[in-house]
Amino acid sequence: MSGTWTIFRRELSGLFFGPLAWVLLCAALLLNGALFVWYVGASGGDIDFSVSMIFGMGGAYWALMVVLPPLLTMKMISEESRAGLLEFLLTAPVSDWAVVLGKLLAATAFMALLWAVPLLYGSAVALLGASPDWPVLLGNYLGAVLVSGLFCGIGLVASAGTSTPLLAAFVAFVFNVVLLLLPFLKDLAGAQPENWRGAFFRRIDVGSRLQGSFSMGVIDTSHIVFFLVWTVFCVFLATRLVESRRWR
Amino acid sequence: MINVEHLTRRFGATNAIEDLTFHLESGEVVGFLGPNGAGKTTTMRILTGYLPATSGKVEIAGFDVLRDSLAVRRQIGYLPEAVPLYREHRVREMLEFQARLHGMSRSDYRAKIPVVLERVRIADRIDSLISTLSRGQRQRVGLAVALLPDPKVLILDEPTSGLDPLQRLEMRGLLRELAREHTVLLSSHILPEIEAVCARVIILNRGRIAADGTPEQLVSAQVHASAVRLEAVVGADVEAALRLLRAIRGARSVEDGGKLGIHQRFEIHCDEDLREDVGALAAQRGWALRELSWTRPTLETLFARIALDLDQDGQAAPRAASKPAAVPASSGGLISLESPPPKKTAPLVVEAPKPLPLGTPTPPRAAYNLNPFEGAAARDLSKPKPVAKDPGADAAPEQT
């Protein structure tokens, strides 16, 4: 576990040493800030509506979710492998999964920081006398962190599976988009609650699980488990792919 | 300290290394030599646990690399050829990261980092960004990173690659210092570096051990690499000169290297320095010498021969010849280059001139005049010109 913590610290500091993280952070803050102000104005001062639009109910949220994690994670394994740093890590006394987990936690922590800003918006409007619905706000935040973890996991799998960072980002982006859009095809696929297609779509439907619970301030452990299981699966897959680099 | 047994690693259909077996005792410093693609890096990566072997067994400090991989990694300081450093970090941060990976306590690594940096002579750059360091400085930082956890075994993959000659000299001195405290496996294809630092050399070729022993043992085992080179004016009868040279005791064979201007070149292959014998013969026959030198066997000649798959006589050997030969027990089980017994050669027979009776007029001495302007340019310079003993003999015709 100390290895994971060490890798986590290094990766998180590494993100902030590079310009990309700052650019992404700045762009996301500008976009979210502008959208929040616009939503507040358009809704006649409905803070809860504005918060939920900033989070899981709005298009900008999903756009950031499919774009940012791939960009954050694209270099984490593929670039390190090219620079020989992966060889350094994999010959250090830490396990492969600790390396992958440390990187995932660092990317997720960065996203958690990025999504913490709407909490500041909530605090700001609370100071102005219009207190937001805090359970909804916090539920949205928790959901955003869980979705970020899953998408960062997908990004790490892509980074471990390819040797070019940009290709890794593209693959992860496409996978994220497919994961989000696939459930819209469930009617076309003839999915019913009782058949296997229905079960399949239930197990991959990220959007509904977020909007059906976290966006409403409801913390449902089954949804937490859903996100955690898929994220752990991604860590497992990325670890196996890192190990497979030894055999190539 | 390091036990490698029947190690094989395949990449697809290619055998990167095949059936390697060697052992390193504690405190031993071994140079891993071989041409590019010989399998040095693959072997080192297997030793560090980065690559799994296809078959075979590796133990480091009593731990199996496959089963106790993490325990093995704690015993090893590894410096790959491409020095792995986070360029955005400062030197101190990089070392702290390495210390935390190895589970060192904060007080421990804070005390050790300046010591290690001082040792690799880069303490003045402790707060520099790694991206601002030169290649040689990065190499030193890489070495400091490998040394920080005080490993029992140091595995250094071409640590001087890309350094300028001065940096290389400094690194060589540093490696000699490290060799006193660690078991070191050092790969390189820079032979003087290996000879200067390592007490033992393992030469790999095509994934197999081609030679294993001390540099002296390996050099002395290459009997056929020694030769005396002669360039002299031997007259028109080159065949006679060849016969005389072949007759020298200890001459294995004589190669006629052809004419170079007025001089004839010969290479006399021998087991020992025959310059005195060849020089005596040349003096006795009156050959004007331009070069008389001895080519000693070196690690470099051995390396070149192994890399080029040449046999002891410098001829292209069949592929099977690259396999290590049986290890002679008398050599301490190290040298794999056996030489065939030397051919019996006829003793040097050079007829001494018979003493002339008293009062006999001395025949004119034959000497070579190398001045092309004397006696006209048309004169055959390869033929001796008589030197008159008295002024009256100056008019004597040229001896043919």
Closest A-chain CA to B99: A6
Note the pLDDT tens digit of each residue in B356-371: 555 555 554 444 455 5
Within A91-220, where are the H helices?
A: 96-115, 117-127, 134-161, 165-181, 196-204, 206-212
pLDDT reported for residue A217: 76
Q: What is the mean pLDDT of chain B?
A: 77
pLDDT at residue A64 above 60? Answer: yes
Can you tell me the ipTM of this complex? 0.85
Whether the CB of B80 is below 8 Å from some CB of chain A: the reply is: yes
Query: Higher pLDDT residue, A2 or A169?
Result: A169
Residue A76 in contact with residue A107, Cβ under 8 Å?
Answer: yes
Most confident segment among A101-110, A124-133, B138-147, B239-248: A101-110
pLDDT at residue A151 above 90? Answer: yes
Q: What is the mean pLDDT of chain A?
A: 87
Nearest by CB to residue A6, choosing from B49, B78, B100, is B100
Percent of chain B's residues with pLDDT above 90:
17
Least confident of A156-165, B195-204, B279-288, B352-361: B352-361
Q: At B229, phi and psi to the nearest 5?
A: -105, 130
pLDDT reported for residue B359: 56
Task: Sort strands B208-213 and B200-205 into parallel, antiparallel or unpaired.
Answer: antiparallel
Question: Could you please report the per-residue DSSP string of B289-352?
Answer: EEEEEEE---HHHHHHHHHTTB-TTSSBPPGGGGSPPPPPGGGTS----PPPPPPP-PPP--PP
Note the pLDDT tens digit of each residue in B47-88: 998 888 888 889 998 888 888 888 899 989 999 988 899 998
B76:A91 CB<8 A = yes
pLDDT reported for residue A232: 95
Whether the CB of A17 is below 8 Å from some CB of chain B: the reply is: yes
Least confident of B227-241, B269-283, B386-400: B386-400
pLDDT reported for residue A98: 93
Quick one: how far is CA B189 from the chain centroid? 9
Q: To probe the interface with B, which of A4, A76, A91, A246 has the most B CB atoms within 10 Å?
A: A91
pLDDT at residue A105 above 90? Answer: yes
| Reported pTM | 0.74
pLDDT-based confidence at A12, cuts 50/70/90? very high
Note the pLDDT tens digit of each residue in A225-246: 989 999 999 999 999 999 888 7
pLDDT at residue B318 above 60? Answer: no
Q: Fill in the amino acid letter for B118.
A: E
pLDDT reported for residue B331: 36
pLDDT at residue A85 above 80? Answer: yes
* CA atoms within 13 Å, Cβ hemisphere of B8: 11
Nearest by CB to residue A87, choosing from B80, B89, B102, is B80
